[in-house]
Amino acid sequence: MARSYGFLSTHPPTRCGLATFNSALAAHLTGGGPHGGIVRVTTDGDDESPVPGVVHTWPARGIAGWRAAASALDRFDVAVVQHEYGIYPGPDGQDVLPLLQRLTVPSIVVLHTVLARPSARQRTLLGQIVDAAGAVVTMTETARVRLLADYGADAGKVTVIPHGSADHSGALLPRRQRPHLLTWGLIGPGKGIEWALQALSLLQDLDPPPTYTVAGKTHPKVLEHCGEAYRNRLYRLGSRLGISAAVHYDSVYRDAPALSRLIRSADVVMLPYDSPDQVTSGVLIEAVAAGVPVVATSFPHAVELLTGGPGLLVPHRDAAALAAAVRRILTEPDLVAGFASRTRALAPALLWPAVAERYDALAQRLLAARLPATVAARS
């Protein structure tokens, strides 16, 4: 008998990484069938029109909304809860804790962030969330080690399952006259795009010189507090460097086929992120799974995935190193061929069907462990 899953997260039409992740995981765990339902967390400004598959909506401003959300999740066999500090009500999203403590069904909490330098409240809260969960998933070994060492998590509760990726292999490739560099995702300070622009200016001696696409809207929270100040700084920097004509800013929201075409059109994906602490990057996984060489700063997820793998690591905030790495990929065919062979070994385990199978196996273990206790309670 198929297991049923309740999912707690932001969810489309909300446009954020968690919403996209939750939508893909739910689709692959339930096969798009009747064995699942979404409890959607919304915030001010979200479109709250009815969405297929959403069985309950939890407005982030709602008082004690966790009670009704927990009741909705309890209608399923297993609850899968996406965790990020900013998406639930209360300071640091603390209202997810009583929800987990109230659930009567097993829960899997998926940690999208494990901070290296949390506040005291964030550290305590995440420790309590881990204690309340039936199982915890991190997407990298780095995050698992950090969770055990810094938060005192029970190692038996923590499983590493990679961030899933769509299969981009069937995307049609456009014909390009010049090498194409790409960065995509929500845009804001910390993305390091200014370093990529400076790197691009150092590559203009190549024949032909590369173009660079920055694809993605400004992050909604950045837009709310700072408007388009960051994007405007990038425009001015590109003009000052004399590369404006080589840079294309594309803020169109793409469906899955269009995103696949964009990713596969790139010769190099650049991830020049400023943060040295990022333990999960969906963009990195998508690029690797698509077989596109990656140049990334040495944030933990990139170090874990790219060391000896399909890309090159560079120091943070170092445009010259970024340019040198991109130059190698564009001018050394043997290097790219080596990346391709490594990608063929990595990619199958990163695709959503394989990732969903691992979540299903984890859910099965949780339910099997609970069965003896249920039988004992009834006897």
The string of pLDDT tens digits covering residues 170-188 is 777 767 889 999 999 989 9
Is residue 174 in some structural domain?
no
Token representation of residue 121: 């409240």
Instruction: Say how far apart CA 209 and CA 323 lie, in whole Å.
Output: 12
Q: Are residues 208 and 270 in the same domain?
A: yes
Q: Are residues 259 and 289 in the same domain?
A: yes
Q: Are residues 358 and 312 in the same domain?
A: no
Q: Are residues 214 and 157 in the same domain?
A: no
Is residue 175 in some structural domain?
no
Q: Are residues 10 and 77 in the same domain?
A: yes
378 neighbors 370 (Cβ within 8 angstroms): no
Residue 72, beta-bridge partner list:
none
Q: Are residues 184 and 333 in the same domain?
A: yes
Amino acid at 176: R
Q: Which residue, 269, 267, 307, 309, is CA-closest to 286?
A: 269
* Range of weakest confidence among 6-20, 40-54, 152-166, 321-335: 40-54
265 neighbors 180 (Cβ within 8 angstroms): yes
Determine the 3-state secondary structure of 245 from DSSP.
helix
Q: Are residues 47 and 138 in the same domain?
A: yes
- What share of the chain in percent tops pLDDT 90? 78
Is residue 169 in some structural domain?
no
Is residue 17 in some structural domain?
yes
Number of compact structural domains in the chain: 2
Q: Would you list the DSSP string of 74-90? A: TTSSEEEEEE-TTSSSS
For residue 318, what is the domain's CATH number? 3.40.50.2000
Residues 6+ apart with CB under 8 A from 359: 25, 29, 80, 108, 137, 161
Residues 6+ apart with CB under 8 A from 371: none
Q: Are residues 143 and 39 in the same domain?
A: yes
Amino acid at 42: T
pLDDT of residue 143: 96
96 neighbors 83 (Cβ within 8 angstroms): yes
Please report the sign of the dihedral spanned by the C-alpha atoms of residue 155, residue 26, residue 111, residue 272. positive
Is residue 185 in some structural domain?
yes
Name the pairing type of β-strands 294-297 and 311-314.
parallel
Place 378 in a pLDDT band, splitting at 50, 70 and 90.
Answer: very low
Q: Give the range of the structural domain holding residue 219, as residue numbers without chain letter.
A: 180-350
Is residue 290 in some structural domain?
yes
Q: What is the mean pLDDT of residues 8-13?
A: 94
Token representation of residue 337: 């061929």
pLDDT of residue 32: 63
Q: Given a cut of 80, is residue 230 above it in pLDDT? A: yes
Instruction: Say how far apart CA 213 and CA 270 lie, in whole Å.
Output: 10
CB atoms within 10 A of CB 227: 11
Q: Are residues 21 and 39 in the same domain?
A: yes
Q: Alpha helix locations (H) across the chain?
A: 17-30, 66-73, 96-102, 120-132, 141-151, 193-201, 220-226, 229-241, 256-264, 282-289, 300-306, 319-331, 333-350, 352-378
Is residue 173 in some structural domain?
no
- Sole residue written with tokens 């809207």: 217
Q: Are residues 369 and 342 in the same domain?
A: no
The string of pLDDT tens digits covering residues 81-112 is 999 998 999 999 999 999 999 999 999 999 99
φ/ψ (deg, to 5) at 8: -115, 120
φ/ψ (deg, to 5) at 110: -100, 115
Distances (CA, A) of 293 to 102, 165, 198, 200, 336: 45, 16, 20, 16, 7
At residue 348's C-alpha, the angle toward residues 345 and 351, to 5°, is: 145
Name the pairing type of β-strands 107-111 and 135-138.
parallel
pTM for this entry: 0.91
Q: Are residues 190 and 150 in the same domain?
A: no
Q: Which residue, 219, 286, 210, 280, is CA-closest to 248?
A: 210
Question: What is the three-state SS of 137-188?
Answer: EECCHHHHHHHHHHHCCCHHHEEECCCCECCCCCCCCCCCCCCEEEEECCEC
Q: Are residues 367 and 310 in the same domain?
A: no
H or E segment at 314? strand 311-314
Is residue 126 in some structural domain?
yes
Q: Given a cut of 80, is residue 358 above it in pLDDT? A: yes
